[in-house]
Amino acid sequence: MKNKNERKFYLREYRTISRAISTYESMNLLFQHLVEGVCRTFGFKGGSVLLYDDKEKELFRINSYGLSDEYLDKGSIYINDDLDTFLKGDIALYINLENDKRVKYADAAKKEGIVAMISLPIKCKNSIIGLLKCYNSEEILIHEDDIESIKVLLQQLGLRIEINGMKNFIDTIKAAMDNLPPYIIEGL
């Protein structure tokens, strides 16, 4: 990406990903296509979708594209107060991973050929529920309008994740209700 002002994410790409977010049955397939689509559109080396477990204060990798198993197995990503960019829901751009003190696994990134990274929050209402991380072997230059488009899609994804979680919860309650003896159900 030689020119920062060159847009890469147009209505066609936006519409394709937006439609996928609202229609895919499989969340795993949705995550896979989302991260792959963003990486291919911008020519990134790879990317990952990570979801945040606020009880464990840890990000869990849900899906990835273009990254080796060795890199993906590098270690856990715990969130602490030092990572206020994540907690605030801000976009983080890492220009040189090797020399950036915020980067925990700089050696693994260097071995993988990763020089730069952009981290975009996945939000649901006012909560940060995950990240889309995109990695590149050269500097990341991305148009502001493209960032705004991706942010909107990630907000849609956040709502979809919440809806999916609620559906799973309701299905669990229904299954539990189906297993109750009839005399208990009659009193409800």
Q: Is the pLDDT of residue 4 over 80?
A: no
Q: Which residue segments constitute the domains of the chain, with CATH numbers given? A: 11-186 (3.30.450.40)
144-178 and 11-23 are packed helices; what angle lies between their axes, rounded to 10 degrees? 10
> Concatenated DSSP letters for 84-113?
HHHHHT--EEES-GGG-TT-S-HHHHHHHT
Closest CA to 154 of 125, 126, 127, 121: 121
What are 115-125's pLDDT values in tens digits? 999 999 999 98
- pLDDT band at residue 56 using 50, 70 and 90 as cut-offs: confident
Ordered strands of the 58-65 beta sheet: 77-78, 58-65, 46-53, 127-136, 116-124, 92-94
Q: What global pTM score does this model have?
A: 0.83
* 83-112 confidence digits (pLDDT tens): 567 778 889 999 988 888 888 888 999 999
Q: Please tell me the predicted confidence (pLDDT) of residue 188.
A: 63
